[in-house]
Amino acid sequence: MEIRTVGVVGLGTMGAGIAEVFARGGLAVTAVEADPQALARGMAALASSLDRAVKRGKLTPAQSGEIAGRVTQAGKLADLAGADLVVEVVPEQLAIKRQVLTELDRACRPDAIFATNTSSLSVTTIAAGTAHPGRVIGMHFFNPAPVMRLVEVVTTVLTDPAAAGSVSGLAERLGKTPVQVSDRAGFVANALLLPYLNHAVRLLETGYATREDIDRAMTLGAGLPMGPLTLLDLIGLDTSLAVLEVLAREFGGTRYTPASLLRRLTDAGRLGRKSGAGFYAYPDGGQVPDEAGLAAGAPGAVTLLDPVAGADAASAGRAAALAGLLAGAGIEVSRDPAAGSGLVVVAIGAMGGVLDAVAEAEAGDRSADAVGIRLVNAELAEVVPSPLTSAVAMDKARALAVKAGLRTVTAPDRPGLLVGALLYPHLRDAAAMVADGYARPSDVDSAMTLGCGYPRGPIRMLDEAGLAQAAAILSAMHAAYGDPAFAPPPLLMACASAGLALAPRG
């Protein structure tokens, strides 16, 4: 069926944007909202979004007028009698959604398709309560709907494939990328995003790293558009907690069990930006502190140690790169631990091992002065103390990295350090989702790039990082913490040992 007329029920945060998407796509939209004030707000939000598009030259005033003219306001569901498709965008409560669908059963044509924009409820449960469950489907838009290109099209065991085809075809006509998946908690994007955000909270609450360093590790170190704690503040801590609870019920395990701190902040009313404070206080929150002033404290000469021989293949190259960078910043670099005094820099890799390197170099008497530095990329260094490192040495090491033109995060000497400890379990979850047949690599990558703004999808990131490196870090994390959530899935191990990519690229 070619969908031409649609109803949107609920014109709140998401509904107004979804109505705009349909109207921009040339469809006739009837918007039904229970609360007159919410209707006025929703229509005003739609109008101001179109005005912004005109100001930015994306639409002409005439086009904006045509789009607005396609949206009709209605007070009751009976006004949707002629709709080919009705999308419900009412609050995330099963009772409300069921009530709306029961009324739609009475109001609409028998061949109309009903879509739910639910993020966390079971589409199957919603469908099973209706007269025509074969025509009930999930159509999960991302916020803001006019901007984000991903639409997760969620089918249930009851869904008529023709209805799924019509809805996916419509999403494409609207300029979106549909990813068709079965009904499972969190679908693709939220099932991958939320456990990663939860892990970031756990690293904060256990004192693994500071909130700023956690966020900076993922923006500067992994290239993500926003740090996880800043993102939680944006999504809302209460919303995130609710989605995690649904995921925990479905999947169990530490990745999904909400971190205590997330629950406590929610209990305290610190819900993120919307309440004025979450992990950060707003409006100033989340700003990255400037480190430039630190450079003055950098020593003029250091001793550089290689990491433990054979720690990993790239270690010699890393030491040479760090030596070059320091020398380029005018710092005298000695490679002989027996000579000299002052700061000892260990050019560690993602596996860490500061004290092992000091012991191997028979430089145990300089342990308090030894600090690991890992070059993550051209912008960021992880600065890593051992349990014996003095505070003075840490300050000098950060100053040194800043003088060499890098930004820094402080990470404990644990497998993956900070960037890898956050990133690899996240990428592992994506590989596990592919391995268990829920989504194809291209769907996983589309979901995270188009729904969450990632510059590259997690499967591509894994392939680019090297599966052997990923498997080694995950195995070390699994051994260190004993949590099966870190164990590399067999598919990743198999591809790593065969030298294959998870998603071959043309």
- DSSP secondary structure letter of residue 389: -
Q: Judged by CB under 6 A, which of 1, 12, 226, 294 binds ligand NAD? A: 12
Q: Is 204 in the site for ligand NAD (CB under 6 A)?
A: no
* Residue ranges in 125-154 that form contacts with ligand NAD under rule CB under 6 A: 141, 143
- Minimum distance from CB of 40 to ligand NAD (Å)? 10
Smaller CB distance to ligand NAD: residue 14 or 452? Answer: 14
Find out whether 444 and 188 touch, Cβ atoms under 8 Å.
Answer: yes
Return the residue matching tokens 């919603």. Answer: 126
Q: Taking a C-beta distance cutoff of 8 angstroms, is the pair 232, 278 a contact?
A: yes
- Which helix (H) or strand (E) segment holds residue 372: the answer is strand 370-375
**What's the CA angle centered on 385, arms 381 and 390, to 5 degrees?**
125
319 beta partners: none
Q: What is the DSSP string of 97-113?
A: HHHHHHHHHHHS-TT-E
* CA–CA distances in Å: residue 491 to residues 89, 117, 392, 483, 496: 38, 32, 45, 19, 8
- DSSP alpha helix (H) spans, 329-404: 354-360, 391-403
CA distance 493 to 501: 11
Min CB(447)–ligand NAD separation in Å: 13
Stretch that binds ligand NAD, among 32-40, 219-227, 246-254, 284-292 (CB under 6 A): 32-40
CB of 500 to ligand NAD, least distance (A): 35
Q: Which stretch binds ligand NAD (CB under 6 A): 30-38, 157-165, 424-432, 461-469?
A: 30-38
- The piece of 49-57, 85-93, 336-344, 466-474 that touches ligand NAD (CB under 6 A) is 85-93
Among 3, 14, 434, 452, which residue interacts with ligand NAD (rule: CB under 6 A)? 14
Structure tokens at 62: 């005439």
C-beta of 105: minimal distance to ligand NAD in Å?
14
Under the binding rule (CB under 6 A), the answer on residue 31 touching ligand NAD is no
- Find the shortest distance in angstroms from Cβ 251 to ligand NAD: 19
Asked whether 380 and 407 are in contact (CB, 8 A), the reply is: yes
Residues near ligand NAD (CB under 6 A), total: 23
Q: Give the C-alpha separation, 355 to 280, whole Å.
A: 35
**Positions of E strands within 169-315:** 177-182, 301-305
Q: Which residues are catalytic?
A: 119, 140, 152, 190
> Distance between CA atoms of 38 and 157, rounded to whole angstroms?
35
32 binds ligand NAD (CB under 6 A): yes
Nearer to ligand NAD, 77 or 492 (CB): 77
**Which C-beta is closer to ligand NAD: that of 96 or that of 295?**
96
Least Å distance between CB 126 and ligand NAD? 10
Pattern 90-129, ligand NAD, x by CB under 6 A: xxx---x---x----------------xxx----------
Q: Which helix (H) or strand (E) holds 14?
A: helix 13-24
Q: Point out which residues bind ligand NAD (CB under 6 A).
A: 9-15, 32-35, 38, 89-92, 96, 100, 117-119, 141, 143
